[in-house]
Amino acid sequence: MRAIVCNSFAPLDQLAIEDRPSPELAAGQVRVRVTAAGVNFVDALIVQGLYQIKPPLPFVAGGETVGIVTELGDGVTSPALGDRVLITSGFGGFATEMVYPANRVLVVPASLTDGQAATFMQSYMTAYFALVHRARMQSGQWLLVLGAGGGVGLAAVDVGRALGLQVIAAASSADKREMALSRGAVAVIDSTNEDVKARAKEVSGDGVDAVYDPIGGRVGEECLRALREDGQFIVIGFASGDIPKLPANQVLLRNRRVTGVDWGAWVGRNPAANQELVAQLIALIESGAVHPVEPVSYPFDQAAQALADQQQRKVVGKAVLVP
């Protein structure tokens, strides 16, 4: 099999494409022929040693993978041979073949393409967990999404609309804003040329009920001031590399709240509760209420390029590696 291997925590161009023997199949595991591997912002952080999780070196990059079950280990009764499954592994997913515990794979809904299936879990579950479980948003409320043309941002637009929220989407380029409109944003803001805080207040009337911030930095901090009474600033991530220092006086004013979101760590502590949320999200996908975007495809061997493009804000929506 071929794999994208991280031999040392280093810049993306140091990732190696290696031929490796097929992994051995243990009892309780399935073997999967990979058809699509989702690219996430976090993958680039992990291989550069910039993430809180540092896998033992060397390791295969990639955390979200879809493929066809080709072999069953002893004792496996489900999934079945030929099933199309999603593996959410954290790392190990940029490979043409994987073995994984059968009880931790998800049979992919038939309505999703391989590309959609390999790119929705991390982005959509972050958005769903944030808006439903953490922020407990209510239908009709105003939501301002920053980075709305990226993975977790676009997912928040889509999930937000499905929850009945009025979503204002801020993004840096016209194609990202178009994408957000296609997922149901009621208004868009050009975050490169417009004052995001002022425009969000203008569009919503008296300010928004929540700001969803995957970017961090100055814009996020500014947008704290766009929150109305009891509004929540939802901390998702720091794609800009700049962790904002939220002014406490602005939190105090209008009785605002700051809501932290760390979906991955929560899953580790609450696997059963997460399964319930995943089932709710899958139901929304199957009913057509949310529509994960069809990702931009890269050949498998261009993993480093795909990760670099994402880090440089060039990817609209999501990206996927196709073996």
Residue among 217, 221, 201 at smallest CA distance from 209: 201
Number of Cβ within a 10 Å radius of residue 8: 10
Comparison of 59 and 266: residue with beta carbon closer to ligand NAP:
266
- Which one of residues 23, 28, 55, 264 is an interface residue with ligand NAP (CB under 6 A)? 264
The pairing of strands 2-6 and 16-19 is antiparallel
Q: State whether residue 278 is helix, strand or coil.
A: helix
Tokens representing residue 218 in the block: 């100055």
- Contact residue for ligand NAP among 91, 128, 233, 263 (CB under 6 A): 263
> Cβ closer to ligand NAP: 60 or 236?
236
Minimum CB distance to ligand NAP, residue 98 (Å): 21
Size of the site for ligand NAP (CB under 6 A): 32
Min separation Cβ 150 and ligand NAP, Å: 2
Query: What is the closest distance, in whole angstroms, from the C-beta atom of residue 234 to ligand NAP in the complex?
Result: 9
Is there a contact between 170 and 201 (Cβ–Cβ < 8 Å)?
Answer: no
d(CA 279, CA 80) in angstroms, rounded, equals 20
How far, in Å, CA of 277 to CA of 128, rounded? 8
Taking the least distance from each CB to ligand NAP, the nearer of 123 and 232 is: 123
Smallest distance from the beta carbon of 130 to ligand NAP, in angstroms?
7
Are 91 and 109 within 8 A, CB to CB?
Answer: no
Please report how close the Cβ of residue 116 comes to ligand NAP at its closest, in angstroms: 15
Q: How far is the CB of 34 from ligand NAP (least distance, A)?
A: 20
Please say which residue, 30 or 156, places its beta carbon nearer to ligand NAP.
156
**Shortest spacing between CB 45 and ligand NAP, in angstroms:** 6
* CA distances in angstroms from 295 to 37, 88, 319, listed in the order given: 11, 17, 5
Residue choice 40, 88, 141, 166 for contact with ligand NAP (CB under 6 A): 40
Output the six-digit token pair for 263.
């979906």
Interface with ligand NAP in residues 131-190 (CB under 6 A):
147, 149-153, 171-172, 176
Q: Binding to ligand NAP (CB under 6 A): which residues in 87-126? A: 122-123, 126
Torsion over CA of 141, 146, 152 and 157, rounded to 10 degrees? 40
Judge contact between 219 and 146, C-beta under 8 A: yes
Residues 120, 125: Cα–Cα separation, whole Å? 8
Which is closer to ligand NAP, CB of 191 or CB of 232? 191
Q: Which residues bind ligand NAP (CB under 6 A)?
A: 40-42, 122-123, 126, 147, 149-153, 171-172, 176, 191, 214-215, 236-241, 261-264, 310-311, 313, 315
